[in-house]
Structure 1
């Protein structure tokens, strides 16, 4: 399949009208096929039950006062049952917002009030947080629950599924470019998570643009259930008849066993996990011999060259693709896997370091690079901040009272991504780091990702995280926290020399190396750089 700009035509209709268009006819041959399978519980939602069960849920919610424009707030580890409820909400013209399962009650309360949520859903693992949050909310809500346990004082999902569906009435007069479908929390990589507002139009755009990515009939992933990645994957697969195996609580010690049990044809990996995955030599040898994984998609950030090449070498018959996406702008670019199905990720050198490409911008997306100091637009290989424009990006961030702050998008429609990047002559985008994560060594800007990429080339290194530590003479000095491969030994002096042999003075490990058992992970499943810096400071 070749890229076709017609894929980028976004119909201006309500979101569920788009998803359920000709649905009954489409699924006739695969009604019994699983849409979502939760791991490890094995709870399964089949294509044939989705629409009829969602209508029952919509009817049950309507009987309890849910109206068009209302919001459901959720805190749960479930995925299959959660999406059934979400669809019920969307059928009524409502919106959803979720949160990190171990979030503090006051943060949940803030988000509930910010969203004016009148319906709140939890499971047995999260109910204590929700009860504490609701004590801080100064209005009554309808409490819902899902999972195996029926929670006292709540309406359980099983009750909604026993509804006869007669109270469901499709909403009228939906404004597809204004009305909310979902408020999706950012991962909080540069601060507190923000609520990103997506409408019927932008959600349809996000689903439509996934057609530009190579996909398989089955995928295994462990994405956060309140994020843009899970939303796009679940709804695209419902729309196209594909199966998602979702790991509710990611555990590295169980990951390869889950792969062998479910035999997915594709995997979705964050680079932080891919760094570890690519260096599990024995397990990858087993996967290579089994031969069922055709595709690995990298999202959430970019792979370093050493990790990308390791995956290509150890799984030579598995296609590797990388996309560039953000909660705010959805999927904006992808590597050209349709034209070169077995190629390595393209790479390009910048300031002495090699980077992997996130591909070209998708049709109807525009992008530009602006110099950090002058704001001047830069040409190929000019490094600056990436700005993106498209018709279906977010409306902005949610403010209290269900209001929207659109200040992140300028008067001409450009969204400031906060990513340091450059383009090559072919139009491929290369993302170097978050602007907020960079620091100065004397007069030079240092990207921690660049130094991490060098450390990942060392044969004894499993994972590495780099931060800048304040220094009176040089502004900052670089310190690395390193996880070694099992059974390997390496000194801090060896790693400092390894980096010094490959990097200019500004990117060397002047603040040394500290060995740790693991690196901190943030709420979105990515490397937590704020916690990493706090950890680095503990070592003096």
Structure 2
């Protein structure tokens, strides 16, 4: 391997070590407030649905007013503030405000269940929650259930709750103009708690510090998250959504707040605003190429598309390039626990790879059965290390100890390998592998065969329990719209397709189940545990 970007030492891929410059600020809140003050006339946010805008001055004014109210109502450095709503112009304000007062903000997905809300609030013990009108009573009930003293502030108006617009209007103009951030004790203090996706169980809270966030902002792995007026199709509670909200301010860029995703709305927005860059999860890319929307709208302005969070197959990549030929696709791989993306493609990267390990990051491949570190082209669990690692899972030392070993390696739970050129290939989640007569089968391999079929819009493969064979692969399929194909695909056609393209072990012995939609997290990841439960109930019946 002859590449100046990384070295290979004892089967460990090591990105180039590049020192960070001294940081001017000790907290991310200080950096954000300074940026807002220094560029008051810059348009900082645009609502993609309504066209309404906030300048940096408006964002500073509204976030500072929120911070003054927080402090007046007893919020202290280190306290936690929950923020839970769909994206709109004011959702970021309590997040910035919490950072100003040295507190921690914790964005939650609006689609969480009451059980999940209770679990996360037991873990983080928030003092305040900023929520939408629909969730106010749910949060109140959850807080009562776990005996939590919680101030609930509503974006809108619900009787009996604080109203966001009213609390910010209560503040004195002089205090707003002279406001300064509360210093944090250390730049290593936690600034934000981000939830894991919860695809395999209850979510955990990933604690990221001020210094980690400032390092990520200073040397972004995904520049699209700081790009001007980029289309970022993720909820704010996901790591890319939160990073975009924070880092566009630091980069003096305008953040586009898109409406909830659907194929036609997204394509219409690209055409209308001549969008140049976009972050699209793999599932969203697949949905776009399977729809008629890419043909209805002019997408030629779209030059750069970035994706992460799932495996982008060669077939899916080629289908997207065919549908949107103006766009260059860059794939990244990482985890919230290591500060986001630490592996990224570069020009000339091989199709199917996630690229090379980035600066100040390391990777090794470990055999899950023996613990032996693997060499090139040998599969195993990906272990990761970076200078932007989490402080740990918030208030969960047991889970932290299971995830990060004594040498500081994050055990990703992902199966993969690197080749002779140091390019890294992610194969699947270890927990998602299907066991058939002692052999391990990758669901992603079967999905890659099924997804290109014109009659298939979405697909997920899981293991169906079997008394003799361990598990049989079963495919849950969402059919393509009738306008996209002449006739509905049948179960036998898909079974025959896999039989033709794949070996005997990977056959769909569990059959094909057609569904209206796949269960997904708000970050567009498939909730395979729900599908496994469904497959188990089918086997039992």
TM-score (norm 2): 0.88
Match of 2:200 among 190, 203, 206: 190
1:390: Cα distance to partner? 1.4
The more displaced of 528-537 and 2-11 is 2-11
Give the secondary structure class of the aligned counterpart of 1:242: coil
1:18 is aligned to 2:37: no
Superposed, which structure 2 residues align to 1:272-351 within 5 Å?
Answer: 272-280=283-291, 282-287=292-297, 289-337=298-346, 340=347, 346-347=350-351
Give the secondary structure class of the aligned counterpart of 1:40: coil
1:490 is aligned to 2:489: yes
In the alignment, structure 1 segments of 5+ residues that lack a partner are: 348-355
- 2:445 is aligned to 450
Provide closer, same or farther for how the CA distance between residues 243 and 170 of structure 1 changes in structure 2, counting only shifts above 3 A.
Answer: closer
- 2:413 is aligned to 418
Confirm or deny: 8 A CA contact 1:481 1:536 kept in the other structure: no
Match of 1:219 among 211, 216, 230: 230
- 2:377 is aligned to 381
Confirm or deny: 8 A CA contact 1:333 1:359 kept in the other structure: no
**In the aligned structure 2, how far is the partner of 1:380 from the partner of 1:195?**
34
In the alignment, structure 2 segments of 5+ residues that lack a partner are: 6-15
Which consecutive segments of 4 or more residues in structure 1 shift more than 6 A? 2-5
Give the secondary structure class of the aligned counterpart of 1:499: helix
Match of 1:229 among 240, 252, 255: 240
Provide closer, same or farther for how the CA distance between residues 262 and 158 of structure 1 changes in structure 2, counting only shifts above 3 A.
Answer: farther
Provide closer, same or farther for how the CA distance between residues 462 and 329 of structure 1 changes in structure 2, counting only shifts above 3 A.
Answer: same
CA RMSD of aligned residues (A): 2.7
Provide closer, same or farther for how the CA distance between residues 501 and 531 of structure 1 changes in structure 2, counting only shifts above 3 A.
Answer: same
CA deviation string 1:289-319 (max 9, x = no partner) = 4411111111211211111001112212111
Confirm or deny: 8 A CA contact 1:145 1:155 kept in the other structure: yes
Provide closer, same or farther for how the CA distance between residues 209 and 507 of structure 1 changes in structure 2, counting only shifts above 3 A.
Answer: farther
1:372 is aligned to 2:357: no
Provide closer, same or farther for how the CA distance between residues 473 and 256 of structure 1 changes in structure 2, counting only shifts above 3 A.
Answer: same
**In the aligned structure 1, how far is the partner of 2:250 from the partner of 2:31?**
9
Give the secondary structure class of the aligned counterpart of 1:132: helix
Match of 1:395 among 386, 391, 397: 391
1:92 is aligned to 2:101: yes
**In the aligned structure 2, how far is the partner of 1:324 from the partner of 1:409?**
18
Give the secondary structure class of the aligned counterpart of 1:152: coil
Give the secondary structure class of the aligned counterpart of 1:284: helix
Confirm or deny: 8 A CA contact 1:145 1:151 kept in the other structure: no
**In the aligned structure 1, how far is the partner of 2:510 from the partner of 2:266?**
34
1:406: Cα distance to partner? 4.6
- 1:472 is aligned to 467
1:239: Cα distance to partner? 1.2
CA deviation string 1:9-62 (max 9, x = no partner) = 57482122334456544x36xx242x3334535553322322333222212221
Give the secondary structure class of the aligned counterpart of 2:337: coil
- 1:130 is aligned to 139
1:435: Cα distance to partner? 0.7
Provide closer, same or farther for how the CA distance between residues 116 and 10 of structure 1 changes in structure 2, counting only shifts above 3 A.
Answer: farther
The more displaced of 410-419 and 509-518 is 509-518
- 2:70 is aligned to 61
**In the aligned structure 2, how far is the partner of 1:61 from the partner of 1:159?**
9
1:216: Cα distance to partner? 4.0
CA deviation string 1:152-189 (max 9, x = no partner) = 33142342244136285532352112x11111111111
Superposed, which structure 2 residues align to 1:492-507 within 5 Å?
Answer: 492-507=491-506
The more displaced of 48-57 and 268-277 is 48-57
**In the aligned structure 2, how far is the partner of 1:180 from the partner of 1:335?**
26
1:403: Cα distance to partner? 11
- 2:120 is aligned to 111
- 2:529 is aligned to 530
Give the secondary structure class of the aligned counterpart of 2:133: coil
Number of equivalent positions: 517
Provide closer, same or farther for how the CA distance between residues 217 and 99 of structure 1 changes in structure 2, counting only shifts above 3 A.
Answer: closer
